[in-house]
Structure formats: C-alpha cells, structure tokens
Amino acid sequence: MLTFTPGDSLAHRLDPRTKLLAQAAFAAAAFAHTTPRGLLGATVVAAAFLVAGWLSPLRAIRGYLPALPFLAAGPLISVVDVAVGSTALAWSIGVDPSAATGPLLASYRVLLILLVSAVYLHTTPVRDSRAAIQRLVPGRAGRLLGVGVALVFRFFPLLRADLRAVREASAARLGEERPLRERIRIVAAAGLRRAFGRADRLALALRARCFAWNPTLPVLRFGRLDVLGLLVVAALAGSIAL
C-alpha cells in the first residue's frame, strides 16, 4: 500500500495544489492522446513524475497490485471471439489478437495515470491533501471532500493490514486446506467484523477529540518550484488543445 514517505525530492517540495493540478492535467492529456505515439509521450512524462518523486516504478506498481488483474482482463477478453449460430449447439470460439489493441492501449493509459497518482501519495502528507482540497473546493462541499480523503488515506491501509492478518492467522491454522468458498467466507466475515469495529472506535475517537468541520490546517504556500510545476500543467493543457 502506497503511503506518504518523508523526503526531499522535487515532488516533496511542491505545493499539494500544484500536484493535484498536474495529476488532473496528465489524466486529461492521457485520455486526449489515445494513439501509440501519444501514449509514448505520456510514458516519458510519467517517468519524469516518478523521477521527481524519487519513486521506483516497481514499488508504484506493487502498490496497485489488486488493480492489475482488471487491467489485464480487458485485452485478454477482447481477443476471444464467440460466434453463436442459429441453434444453441452451433457456436464456435475463435481468437483475434488484433482486437486487443484498443483495450491494451486503454489499460496502459490507466496504468500510467496510476503511476502518476502514486507519486502524489508518496510525496504528500494526508493533512496537506486535506488542506489542498478544502482550498480548491470552497464551502462545505470542500470540507466534506477533505474529511473523506483524509479518512480514506488513513483508514484503508489499516483495513488491508487487518485482512492480511486474518489470512495469515487462517493459514497458520491450516486454513489453506479448506475449500476456497469456506476460506473466502472466513476472511470476509472476519474482515467485516474488524472494519465495523474500527469504524466504531474511529467515531468514538472523533467525538472525544471534538471533531470539527473547519479545523486548523497547515498553511500552504506556492514557492519557486511550483512555477515549474504550473508550467508542466500548462504544457499538458496545451497538448490537449493542440
């Protein structure tokens, strides 16, 4: 699971609002340029983001391992061509590799966007993310989004750790010898119990700390390096217009 890691890279020193704008501009540019040549340029830009954040591509990909099977499923399914005849028994299955080109490019485009978002998660504290969102989206809607992002960033890694602990405990008790359906039921039930328990403790902790919709957030300031980041945003926006 990707989380904030303290550091002194270029991306660490950027204002979180600049990084959010850069993410949005990159995603828009990636969906605007759908040709292999356009995705090649997007690959170069994504590599520059990784270098700016001192983040290894392998570590970024490991952080999104649960999503990789879904990205691979599209191209694999698209190559299978099922022809159904006039009767229920008159059907055949063929393989058309050329049909995978479009889904493969689409999956690769999503992977590039995930790599860029991994740089943001790696270089931005949760409090700064909340402050940036509440300043970009005014009013109560921005405060609601900020709270939601902060809770997800803090809560989701704990849920994954709980599920991993349940699976390890089940394996230590010879759970791997049970049928697959039984293993899924045990892990899911234990995971839900822990999730609801954490949610109850979180609600109690928020009340005990007098949770407020408008807390004192860190001060955000644009610096000289943010000029470089905004130039990158402008270049990506210009590539969409062109």
1 pLDDT tier (thresholds 50, 70, 90): low
Q: pLDDT at position 18, please?
A: 93
pTM: 0.72
DSSP string, the chain: --------STTTTS-HHHHHHHHHHHHHHHHH--SHHHHHHHHHHHHHHHHHTT--HHHHHHHTGGGHHHHHHHHHHHTEEEEE-SSTT-EEEEE-GGGGHHHHHHHHHHHHHHHHHHHHHHH--HHHHHHHHHHHS-HHHHHHHHHHHHHHHHHHHHHHHHHHHHHHHHHHTTGGGS-HHHHHHHHHHHHHHHHHHHHHHHHHHHHHTT--SS--PPP----HHHHHHHHHHHHHHHHHH-
CB atoms within 10 A of CB 25: 22
Residue 37: pLDDT over 80: yes
Residues 146 and 154: their CA atoms lie apart, in Å, by 12
- 228: Cβ contacts below 8 Å, ≥ 6 apart: none
Tokens of 60: 């970024």
Residue 205, amino acid: A
Q: Find, among 67, 44, 1, the residue nearest to 235 by Cα.
A: 44
pLDDT in tens, 60-113: 998 888 788 888 887 777 776 644 444 554 455 656 667 778 888 888 999 999
